Amino acid sequence: MTAPNNLPDKIRALISGKTYTVNGIGKSNASVMVFDDSVLKIEPYQKETEEMVGVMRWMEGKLPVPQVLCFESDSENQYLLMSKIPGKMSCDEYYMSRPDVLISGLAEAFRMFWNVDTEGCPRTLDLDSELKEARRRVENGLIDLSDSEPSTFAEGGFKDAFDLLSWLENNKPRFEPVLSHGDFCLPNIFFENGKVSGFIDLGSAGIGDKWKDIALCYRSLRWNSEGAYGGKVYPDVRSMKLFDALGIEPDMDKIRYFILLDELF
């Protein structure tokens, strides 16, 4: 397919004559057009995106992240044109079938983030700011309970989103700041030849809690290995081996906390 005409002039000039495919992976309401050398993400306008673009530009040269080629917005939509990250998603069958390579690569990805000096990073997402946004979402009825883990709101779990929010506000763990991806799930980590080739979907990147990324990666490993996506089960992928590769003890209380927090986003 060729790109539509109803795009900002600067964006249209950069992709003129190029063909693309549509990427349907992910849960956002964005349209993602994938060209040979770039990716165009179109979604409803959000004022927070300009801050995210600033974080991406700050990360260039520090990590293998997409280069921001052009960012435009209008009264309805925003348009982010980025360079394309090479390689395959870490949840690709090739890597899911090679658990040692997969786990080693994910551990490498974490260390790449943790080794970046965060001085000058234009965004900090501490727990107070995350919980403030979670409260806004809950109070405005923006939570889709059908998309939560089965046990979260089941018998013995939380009554509703307000009950969960109250628990989260009253059980905040100690903040452990690092440079955080913010959505450290397998489809957002790319490998090439068994090594990390890049990171995508950086809308929640910034200075954040170390255990948020660990929790979302642990959950993503579990979901992908248990057949939640596509139905194929990979019994040799052991999520707990991630901690051996990282050389840390799993803090399951913090992991549970951040998985529960993610239920409100």
Q: Are residues 71 and 105 in the same domain?
A: no
Q: Are residues 42 and 151 in the same domain?
A: no
Token representation of residue 113: 């983030």
Question: What token pair was written down for 103?
Answer: 């786990």
Domain boundary among 45, 64, 83: 83
Q: Give yes or no for residue 26 having a pLDDT over 60.
A: no
What does the DSSP 8-state code read for residue 193?
A: T
Q: Which amino acid is at 116?
A: V
| Half-sphere CA count of 176, side-chain side, radius 13 A | 11
Q: How many structural domains does the chain have? A: 2
- Asked if 175 contacts 126 with a C-beta cutoff of 8 angstroms, the reply is yes
Residue with tokens 């990390």: 196
User: What H or E segment, with its residue span, contains residue 40?
Assistant: strand 38-44
The residue range of the domain holding 102 is 88-262
In this structure, what CATH number is given to the domain that contains residue 143?
A: 3.90.1200.10
Q: Are residues 228 and 99 in the same domain?
A: yes
Q: Which two three-digit tokens encode residue 59?
A: 């990360």
Would 3 be classed as within a structural domain? no
Tokens describing residue 28 = 């956002």
Instruction: Say yes or no: 44 and 145 in one domain.
Output: no
Rounded-to-integer distance, Cα 139 and Cα 84, Å: 37
pLDDT of residue 25: 62
Domain match, 102 and 225 both? yes
pLDDT exceeds 90 at position 46: no
Q: What is the DSSP string of 128-172?
A: HHHHHHHHHHHHTT---GGGS-TTTTSTTS-SSHHHHHHHHHHSP
| pLDDT 10s digits, 110-152 | 999 999 999 999 999 999 999 999 999 999 999 998 889 889 9
pLDDT digit string (tens) for 173-227? Answer: 999 999 999 999 999 999 999 999 999 999 999 999 999 999 999 999 999 999 9
Within 10 Å of residue 230's Cβ, how many Cβ atoms? 10
Q: Is the dihedral of CA 263, 199, 236, 250 positive or negative?
A: negative
Residue 27 has a pLDDT of 55
Residue with tokens 């435009």: 72
- One domain, residues 74 and 102: no
Backbone angles phi, psi at 209, to 5 degrees: -80, 135
**Of 216, 200, 184, 220, nearest in space to 41 by CA:** 200
Helix (H) or strand (E) holding 196: strand 195-199
The identity of residue 208, as a single letter, is G
- Positions marked catalytic: 183
What SS3 class is residue 46? coil
> Do 69 and 186 have their domain in common?
no
